[in-house]
């Protein structure tokens, strides 16, 4: 059980049982939470503590929420642990990532079906041999939303890393050769993007028997070439936010049809 305060609020996120529903969107940036929640019906600020900001609302008559995780896997694991402990059973990561394939145009939406565990947090949950995979129902709902979005989209594997600058400036690291060798291997294996949270999200979800998936806005280029002005203009975060909201609506509809929503 995750740590609680005397009033029942979770130690880090500051939320207690009954304040959020079953479905939560997870951006990294606290400032992005209100932007996402503006798509909800009846959006309402709930709590801000440390890197964790939460807004609530409804979609199609069902309570939903949005909680920021901050950057990286350790803080993501805390958010998922504490949210799951107060009844959340469905998580969708909503974020940005770096492209790992030359054919993927910046501004594309990536639906993450699994993640490379190139980070340390998930090792505290399951051995490295255990795969980090997204929930199938969540992934299919996000894929259908991406298909209908009109934006370029891909389904595939993300690389989850612990060091932002280990990716962007590997040549100045003492282990540059190893970082660059591994990056080439991930690309050769078909990974579509690099980010910093999905692997731990999926592993923690697996251990807690909850559902998790992810949608990422894919930016940049694998060779670190700067994005052009046209690419920047074609890379609004609204693309992945709207896709994630649409995917969540599909998931809610499917859960309602299956009798999983009372």
Q: Are 10 and 82 in contact (CB under 8 A)?
A: yes
Confidence at residue 164, expressed as pLDDT on a 0 to 100 scale: 86
Q: How many Cβ atoms sit within 10 Å of the Cβ of residue 256?
A: 14
* Contacts with 231 (C-beta within 8 Å, 6 or more apart), sequence order: 105, 106, 107
Average pLDDT, the chain: 95
Confidence at residue 97, expressed as pLDDT on a 0 to 100 scale: 97
Q: Are 118 and 161 in contact (CB under 8 A)?
A: yes
**Rounded Cα gap, residues 252 and 261, in angstroms:** 8
**Considering the entire predicted model, what is its pTM?**
0.95
In the chain, how many domains are there? 1
Domain containing 152: what range? 23-253
Of 87 and 225, more confident: 87
pLDDT reading at 8 higher than 90: no
Residue 52 counted as domain residue: yes
pLDDT reading at 251 higher than 80: yes
CATH number of the domain encompassing residue 75: 3.40.50.1580
Residue 261 counted as domain residue: no
Residue 6 — very low, low, confident or very high, per pLDDT cuts 50/70/90? low
Residue 9 counted as domain residue: no
Residue-wise pLDDT for 121-132, tens only, equals 999 999 999 999
Residue 123 counted as domain residue: yes
Residue-wise pLDDT for 207-240, tens only, equals 999 999 999 999 998 888 888 888 888 889 999 9
Instruction: Give the bridge partners for 213, in sequence order.
Output: 92
Residue 10 counted as domain residue: no
Residue-wise pLDDT for 116-157, tens only, equals 999 999 999 999 999 999 999 999 999 999 999 999 999 999
Residue 15 counted as domain residue: no
Confidence at residue 3, expressed as pLDDT on a 0 to 100 scale: 65
Residue 16 counted as domain residue: no
Q: How many residues does the chain have?
A: 262
Residue 215 counted as domain residue: yes
Classify residue 102 as exposed, middle or buried by CB count within 10 Å of its CB (0-12, 13-18, 19+): exposed
Burial 156-165 (b: 16+ CB within 10 A, else e): bbbbbbbeee
């Amino acid at each position: 059980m995750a740590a609680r305060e005397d009033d029942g609020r979770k130690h880090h996120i500051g939320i207690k049982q009954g304040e959020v529903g079953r479905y939560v969107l997870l951006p990294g940036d606290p400032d992005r939470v209100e932007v996402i929640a503006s798509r909800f019906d009846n959006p309402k600020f709930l709590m801000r503590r440390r890197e964790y900001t939460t807004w609530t609302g409804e979609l199609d008559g069902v309570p939903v929420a949005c909680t920021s995780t901050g950057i990286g896997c350790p803080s993501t694991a805390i958010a998922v642990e504490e949210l799951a402990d107060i009844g959340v059973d469905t998580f969708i990561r909503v974020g940005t990532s770096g492209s790992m394939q030359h054919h993927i145009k910046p501004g594309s939406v990536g639906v993450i079906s699994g993640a490379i565990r190139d980070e340390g947090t998930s090792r505290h949950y399951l051995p490295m041999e255990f795969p980090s995979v997204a929930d199938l129902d969540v992934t299919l709902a996000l894929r259908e939303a991406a298909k209908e979005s009109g934006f370029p989209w891909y389904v595939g594997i993300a690389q989850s890393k612990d060091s932002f600058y280990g990716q962007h400036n590997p040549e100045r690291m003492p282990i540059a050769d190893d970082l660059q060798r591994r990056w080439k291997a991930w690309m050769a294996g078909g990974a579509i993007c690099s980010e910093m949270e999905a692997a731990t999200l999926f592993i923690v979800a697996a251990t807690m028997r909850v559902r998790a998936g992810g949608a990422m806005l894919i930016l940049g280029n694998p060779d670190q070439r700067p994005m052009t002005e046209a690419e920047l203009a074609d890379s609004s975060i609204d693309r992945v936010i709207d896709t994630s909201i649409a995917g969540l609506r599909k998931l809610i509809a499917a859960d309602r049809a299956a009798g999983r929503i009372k």
